[in-house]
Structures are given as structure tokens and as C-alpha cells.
């Protein structure tokens, strides 16, 4: 397998999906070793760093990419398989940013109340124990949490000539902030423009579902990703697959619309995989779907609908490409 390694210069960071020249052109079937900066652009390195003083909001969620995939055309499906994710620094950071997050008024849920207190939490990575350490900022509580690295953003250039900030989760993927975007997952994304122009970033050393305060344990990340191209078959919304689950991510507002999107896309997927009538798929999924919230804090809210493969023997998606990618990954990692 072709392997490519890429660490962007700071000047190469990209803050949008779409609108940027490709960092590189790659062939389908390439394994990429990518380094990405953290969502704060390395602005928060101490608990004394307050977001309002250190973060430049124009430069958050820097993306590594975009990468032009040879042969990718609108209507195709880009398959991105996450082989490995490892922290590229010895600590991650999280913070409460004024008027950003799930339990505060925001620029959208626009209220008159004062902002919540700003604060920054630094989580030390313990590589041996594979943990990150929480230390209270308003008391002295401590606890170690398992390192569970994931990518907050995986996205393509949007269609309709749009350019969106890297803070947005949408039909093209983007800032979905789902813990499912982790080692062993294959993401299927519908291609909107020639070359697909995918990028990744916003590494999280750990994140709960919902990403309640708006920022996970944010950290620079080393990612190993295999890129494949499936001609045609573009899903309407991002689909994910790992060894145990089929998943869809819907992103919109209000949150029930995010769920509706994901659930309907899963109905479609089930009609494709199992030859089911849509009403039968709707019924069967009613009894089998899981529905974890991904984020409740971004420009769109993201909801995952997922189904355990163990419940539905015989289902094969995209001709079994996930299985092949897993095999290939074993040789890489």
C-alpha cells in the first residue's frame, strides 16, 4: 500500500471545508500518516490561559488537508478508514468559552444572562496507563480517565459552491464531534466536488456524548487513515461502519431534525442492504436502533443512529470494503 506522511506547516492550516487549494493529490488506496493541530490552535497550554484572551476565534479547528483524491467525482463515495489515532502531545486542553457550549446561552440561543466563568482544564496524558488526568479548577478533585482518541472533524468540500467553517457539521461531515469517529471506523462520505477534498482535524483525546461544555480533551493528533474511493453510491448523509455497528450521523437543528435525518438515512441503508421495504425497515429499526447524541453544542447538533451487526446477520455494506480495510490496516499499524 502506498503510504504518505504529512504534517502541515502552520501557514498551511485550513479553517474551512471547501475554498482551499489541495495540500496534496493522492491516489485511492493510499494510507496517510497525518498530524493535526488541536482545536484551539495550541493557544491553551496552561490553566492560566483564558479562552477570551488566548484564542483567536478566526483560527480554531485547523484542518489538515484538504486532500484531492484522484478520480473522485460528485456522486462518488469516499471511504476513510481510521487505522490509528495517537496523541501527538503529552497533554490535552479543554475550556469553557464565553457564550459557547451546551449549558449556556450562545450566539443562537441568544439570552441576556452573563456568561459562565471562563476556565481552562489541562489533562496530562499518561501513555503507560493510557489515561488523561482531570484536575478540578474550582476545587481539588482528581480522576484519571481512559484515553479514547477520536477525530472531531472529518469532512469533504461541500456542494453548491459553498465554503463552510471547520466548526460546522453538515451533510459533508465536518465537525460532527462523535466519539464513534475512532480507531477501527470507516467513514463513508458523499463526494460533492472533483477530488472530494477531504480534511481532518480537531483531535480529541477523549469526549463524552454531547460534548456538553463545547470542548473535548482537545489535542494534537497523529492519525493513520486509509483512503479509498467507491464509484457512485454517495450516501445523502455520513455513514460510518466499524466491526460491530452500522452508523449514520445527522446534523441539523433542532436536535429532533438531526435524529430524523440519521434515522431516515438508516432506513434507506437498510432497504439497500436487506432488500427491505421502507416501512419494514422503519419498523425493524424501531426495535434495533441505538441513538447516541454526538454533539449538542456546534453550529448544527449531531445525532448518531447505529445498529449492531450482531442483530442483523448477513448485512454487508459497500461490498465489504470495511472488512478489507480492516485487513489492510493490520499490516500498517
* Minimum CB distance to a second copy smaller for 30 or for 178: 178
In this structure, are residues 60 and 215 in contact, taking their beta carbons and an 8 Å threshold? no
Residue 250 and residue 258: Cα distance in Å, rounded?
5
Minimum CB distance to a second copy, residue 192 (Å): 11
* Minimum CB distance to a second copy smaller for 19 or for 332: 19
In this structure, are residues 155 and 190 in contact, taking their beta carbons and an 8 Å threshold? no
Minimum CB distance to a second copy, residue 57 (Å): 9
* Minimum CB distance to a second copy smaller for 230 or for 276: 276
Residue 23 and residue 200: Cα distance in Å, rounded?
12
- Name the burial class of residue 46, with classes exposed (0-12), middle (13-18) and buried (19+) by CB atoms within 10 angstroms of its CB: exposed
In this structure, are residues 212 and 206 in contact, taking their beta carbons and an 8 Å threshold? no
Minimum CB distance to a second copy, residue 168 (Å): 9
Residue 201 and residue 55: Cα distance in Å, rounded?
17
* Minimum CB distance to a second copy smaller for 227 or for 281: 281
Contacts of 36 (CB under 8 A, 6+ apart): 8, 62, 63, 64, 88, 151, 200, 201, 202, 203, 220, 221, 223
Minimum CB distance to a second copy, residue 121 (Å): 5
Minimum CB distance to a second copy, residue 332 (Å): 29
Minimum CB distance to a second copy, residue 24 (Å): 21
Residue 90 and residue 131: Cα distance in Å, rounded?
11
Minimum CB distance to a second copy, residue 111 (Å): 5
* Minimum CB distance to a second copy smaller for 24 or for 136: 136
- Residue for grid cell 487513515: 225
DSSP string, 110-159: --SSPPPPPEEEEEEEETTTTEEEEE-SSS--EEEEE---EEEEEE---S
Burial 271-307 (b: 16+ CB within 10 A, else e): bebeebeeeebbebbeeebeeebbbbbbbbbbbbbbb
* Minimum CB distance to a second copy smaller for 119 or for 332: 119
* Minimum CB distance to a second copy smaller for 110 or for 128: 110
* Minimum CB distance to a second copy smaller for 225 or for 297: 297
Minimum CB distance to a second copy, residue 331 (Å): 33
- Residue for grid cell 497550554: 45
Amino acid at each position: 500500500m502506498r503510504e504518505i506522511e504529512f504534517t502541515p506547516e502552520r501557514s498551511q492550516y485550513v479553517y474551512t471545508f471547501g475554498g482551499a487549494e489541495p495540500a496534496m493529490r493522492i491516489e485511492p488506496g493510499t494510507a496517510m500518516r497525518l498530524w493535526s493541530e488541536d482545536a484551539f490552535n495550541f493557544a491553551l497550554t496552561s490553566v492560566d490561559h483564558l479562552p477570551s484572551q488566548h484564542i483567536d476565534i478566526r483560527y480554531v479547528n485547523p484542518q489538515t488537508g484538504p486532500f484531492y483524491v484522484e478520480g473522485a467525482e460528485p456522486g462518488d463515495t469516499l471511504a476513510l478508514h481510521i487505522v490509528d489515532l495517537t496523541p501527538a502531545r503529552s497533554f490535552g486542553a479543554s475550556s469553557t468559552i464565553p457564550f459557547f457550549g451546551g449549558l449556556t446561552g450562545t450566539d443562537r440561543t441568544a439570552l441576556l444572562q452573563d456568561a459562565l466563568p471562563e476556565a481552562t482544564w489541562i489533562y496530562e496524558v499518561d501513555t503507560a496507563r493510557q489515561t488523561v488526568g482531570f484536575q478540578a479548577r474550582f476545587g481539588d478533585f482528581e480522576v484519571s480517565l481512559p484515553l479514547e482518541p477520536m477525530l472531531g472533524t472529518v469532512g469533504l468540500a461541500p456542494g453548491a459552491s459553498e465554503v463552510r467553517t471547520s466548526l460546522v457539521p453538515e451533510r459533508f461531515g465536518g465537525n460532527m464531534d462523535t466519539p464513534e469517529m475512532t480507531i477501527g471506523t470507516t467513514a463513508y462520505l458523499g463526494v460533492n466536488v472533483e477530488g472530494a477534498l477531504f480534511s481532518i482535524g480537531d483531535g480529541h483525546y477523549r469526549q463524552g456524548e454531547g460534548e456538553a461544555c463545547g470542548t473535548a480533551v482537545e489535542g494534537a493528533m497523529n492519525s493513520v487513515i486509509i483512503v479509498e474511493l467507491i464509484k457512485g453510491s454517495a450516501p445523502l448523509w455520513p455513514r460510518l461502519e466499524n466491526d460491530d455497528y452500522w452508523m449514520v450521523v445527522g446534523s441539523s437543528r433542532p436536535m429532533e431534525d438531526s435524529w430524523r435525518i440519521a434515522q431516515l438515512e438508516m432506513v434507506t441503508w437498510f432497504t439497500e442492504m436487506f432488500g427491505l421495504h421502507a416501512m419494514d425497515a422503519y419498523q425493524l429499526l424501531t426495535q434495533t436502533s441505538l441513538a447516541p447524541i454526538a454533539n449538542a453544542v456546534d453550529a448544527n447538533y449531531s445525532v448518531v443512529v447505529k445498529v449492531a451487526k450482531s442483530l442483523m446477520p448477513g448485512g454487508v455494506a459497500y461490498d465489504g470494503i470495511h472488512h478489507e480495510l480492516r485487513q489492510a490496516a493490520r499490516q500498517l499499524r
